[in-house]
Amino acid sequence: AIERTLSIIKPDATKRNLTGKINAKFEDAGLRIVAQKRIQLTVDQAGQFYAVHKERPFFGELTEFMASGPVVVQVLEGEGAVLKNREVMGATNPADAAPGTVRAEFAESVGENSVHGSDAPETAAEEIAFFFSGLELVG
Ligand code: CMP
């Protein structure tokens, strides 16, 4: 089925001017960027987005990192987009990421891992609504 998923290019990647190279990997995999904006999150906003991780030991590190520089939030659309995006990203820990994936090529550590992608269609809908209104999605 045609799906949409929420993707974030994280501060470690925007700082190194990797937005275009990462977008090329998404587009080459058949994912269409149907919405995109570059924003600066506050620690509070990052905490709202990652609320599901509130009790994790790395929550403070994660939210401060996500507020440490610009992020590019985007909606990717395509056949099986949630899983396809996760394949293009590679494993959370770059040490485990398959060759050619975004994280294998660009991520610096498990925390500074260049990209976020929704983990299921239901969370994708919630995460898209966190950043975008329906009018901002142009297929
Ligand atoms: P992401 O897909 O954005 O979802 C939650 C994030 O938490 C994850 O990617 C990692 O970047 C981050 N994360 C997971 N484990 C750790 C860890 N041990 N230390 C720091 N950050 C982590």
Separation of CA 31 and ligand 1 centre (Å): 23
What confidence tier does 30 reach under pLDDT thresholds 50, 70, 90?
Answer: very high
Assess whether the C-beta atom of 92 lies below 6 angstroms from ligand 1.
Answer: yes
- Structural contact between residues 112 and 44, judged by C-beta atoms closer than 8 angstroms: no
Distance (Å, whole) CA 102 – CA 122: 24
Assess whether the C-beta atom of 61 lies below 6 angstroms from ligand 1.
Answer: yes
Assess whether the C-beta atom of 91 lies below 6 angstroms from ligand 1.
Answer: no
Residue-level pLDDT at 22: 98
What is the total residue count of the chain? Answer: 139
The catalytic residue positions are: 116
Q: pLDDT tens across 6-21, in order?
A: 999 999 999 999 999 9
Distance (Å, whole) CA 8 – CA 99: 21
Q: pLDDT tens across 51-94, in order?
A: 999 999 999 999 999 999 999 999 999 999 999 999 999 999 99
Residue whose Cα lies nearest atom 13 of ligand 1: it is 111
Separation of CA 9 and ligand 1 centre (Å): 14
Residue-level pLDDT at 28: 98
| DSSP-assigned states of every residue in the chain | -EEEEEEEE-HHHHHTT-HHHHHHHHHHTT-EEEEEEEE---HHHHHHHTGGGTTSTTHHHHHHHHTSS-EEEEEEEEETHHHHHHHHH--SSGGGPPTTSHHHHH--SSSS-SEEE-SSHHHHHHHHHHH--GGG---
For the chain, give the percent of residues with pLDDT over 90: 100
